[in-house]
Amino acid sequence: MGKKIKVFAPATVANVACGFDVLGFAVDSPGDELIVEMTDRPGIQIVEITGDEGKLPRTAEANTAGVAIQQLITQVAYTGGVKISLHKKMPMGSGLGSSAASAAAGAFAMNELLGRPFDTEDLVPFAMEGERLACGTAHADNVAPALMGGFVLIRSYDPLDIIPIDTPKELIATVIYPQIEVATKDARQILQKKVPLTDAITQWGNVAGLVTGLLKSDYALIGRSLQDVIIEPVRSLLIPGFQEVKMAAMEAGALGCAISGSGPSLFSLSQDKATAQKVAEAQQAAFLKLGIESNTYVSPVNQNGPVVIG
Ligand code: HSE
């Protein structure tokens, strides 16, 4: 048997309201588990996928973890083979960065097996190719926090410039996943390609306000800045009960609430765990009133990114 590793990579909240494609953070759970084994036979072989209800393709070229690994091994001219087993421990099409967690796990695991030829940040472009496969665009606001942990700003895509942002320790995220599916590809296609200048001014004011609020632990500023006047008005139409569930979070004491990634999950930020828990319960009740079941996750901003678990 060849060298083998089992890793966990976390779910992520992308966009964070005002930062479409440029802001994201990782949460402690849920996430994906991936086992990667080096073999003599060249090529990447998917041995097993569990937890995907049979929805994911079984060929490596069509799988985000497979694509990320392929990108990495091409760069280092590794000539052996790889076997992977993917255990999806998080919902797909949920806005929690499911495809990104698999891609991040793949790039991270392969890098570990090869003796870390790359720094973690340099793995991001490999995992971004997984996103290109999953939704047609190689955005980094899920894969960068999934790989690096923490809260990140993608200041630029060309060249790629990723800035980790410190967050207050007490900051807690609530994520609620209503059991409906929204494909990122569809949720990107419905977006307007041009933005009125007045909306752009509001949005970049909020991005700067959010980052400043996080760095200064200014909760009121964080709350005021968690607003999205460009994407949310369009995408919220895909989420039944969006306004009611958002209002439930605000009434329960959240600093702010918006769509997580491309939805249908919503995320909220709170100043302490008790409030974050209250937000989860209030939102779950609001969805239930509309007959929609949901799962909730309460977590601080994950600081680790992927970890070796076996
Ligand atoms: N920034 C991406 C989008 C994240 O909103 O389409 C997808 O999860």
Q: Give yes or no for a cis peptide into 264 (omega within 30° of 0).
A: yes
The answer to whether the beta carbons of residues 226 and 256 sit under 8 Å apart is yes
Is the shortest distance between the CB of 131 and ligand 1 below 6 Å? Answer: no
- For 180-226, write each residue's pLDDT tens digit: 888 888 899 999 999 999 999 999 999 999 999 999 999 999 999 99
Tell me the residue ranges of DSSP E strands in 95-159: 151-157
Quote the longest CA-to-CA distance of the chain.
Answer: 60
- What would the two tokens of residue 149 be? 């942990």
Give strand pairing partners of 46.
84
What topology is assigned to 4-166+303-308 in CATH?
A: Ribosomal Protein S5; domain 2 (3.30.230)
| Span 172-300 CATH architecture | 2-Layer Sandwich (3.30)
What whole-number distance in Å separates Cα of residue 155 and Cα of residue 87? 32
Ligand 1 mutation pick, 143, 182, 188, 189, max ligand atoms within 8 A of CB: 188
- What would the two tokens of residue 87 be? 């255990």
Crossing angle of helices 124-135 and 64-76, rounded to 10°: 140
What whole-number distance in Å separates Cα of residue 147 and Cα of residue 149? 6
Nearest CA to ligand 1 atom 1: 21
- List where CATH 3.30.70.890 sits in the chain: 172-300
156 CA distance to ligand 1 middle (Å) = 16
Alpha-carbon separation of residue 38 from 79, 101, 113, 276, 290 (angstroms): 10, 21, 8, 42, 49
What whole-number distance in Å separates Cα of residue 301 and Cα of residue 98? 17
266 CA distance to ligand 1 middle (Å) = 13
The answer to whether the beta carbons of residues 141 and 18 sit under 8 Å apart is no
4 CA distance to ligand 1 middle (Å) = 32
- Helix residue spans in 115-241 (DSSP H): 124-135, 143-148, 184-189, 197-216, 219-225, 232-235
The answer to whether the beta carbons of residues 116 and 107 sit under 8 Å apart is no
pLDDT by 10-residue block (mean), the chain, 310 residues: 93 98 98 97 96 92 97 94 96 94 98 98 98 94 98 98 97 96 89 96 98 98 98 96 98 98 97 98 98 97 97
**pLDDT score, position 184:** 87
Q: Which residues are catalytic?
A: 131, 184
Is the shortest distance between the CB of 278 and ligand 1 below 6 Å? Answer: no
Write the DSSP assignment of 261-274 as a string of letters: TTSS-EEEEESSHH
- 101 membership: H or E segment, kind and range: helix 98-113
Write the DSSP assignment of 221-271 as a string of letters: HHHHH---SSSHHHHGGGSTTHHHHHHHHHHTT-SEEEE-TTSS-EEEEES
Nearest CA to ligand 1 atom 6: 262
- 78 membership: H or E segment, kind and range: none
Is the shortest distance between the CB of 139 and ligand 1 below 6 Å? Answer: yes
Is the shortest distance between the CB of 262 and ligand 1 below 6 Å? Answer: yes
Tell which residue, 301, 308, 310, has the closest CA to residue 11.
Answer: 301
Ligand 1 mutation pick, 12, 21, 132, 265, max ligand atoms within 8 A of CB: 21
Q: Is 27 helix (H, G, I), strand (E, B) or coil?
A: strand
**pLDDT score, position 15:** 98
**pLDDT score, position 1:** 67
The structure tokens 């190719």 sit at 129
CA atoms within 13 A on the CB side of 215: 11
142 CA distance to ligand 1 middle (Å) = 8
- For 23-50, write each residue's pLDDT tens digit: 999 999 999 999 999 999 999 999 999 9
- 172 membership: H or E segment, kind and range: strand 172-178
Crossing angle of helices 242-251 and 273-289, rounded to 10°: 150
- List where CATH 3.30.230.10 sits in the chain: 4-166+303-308
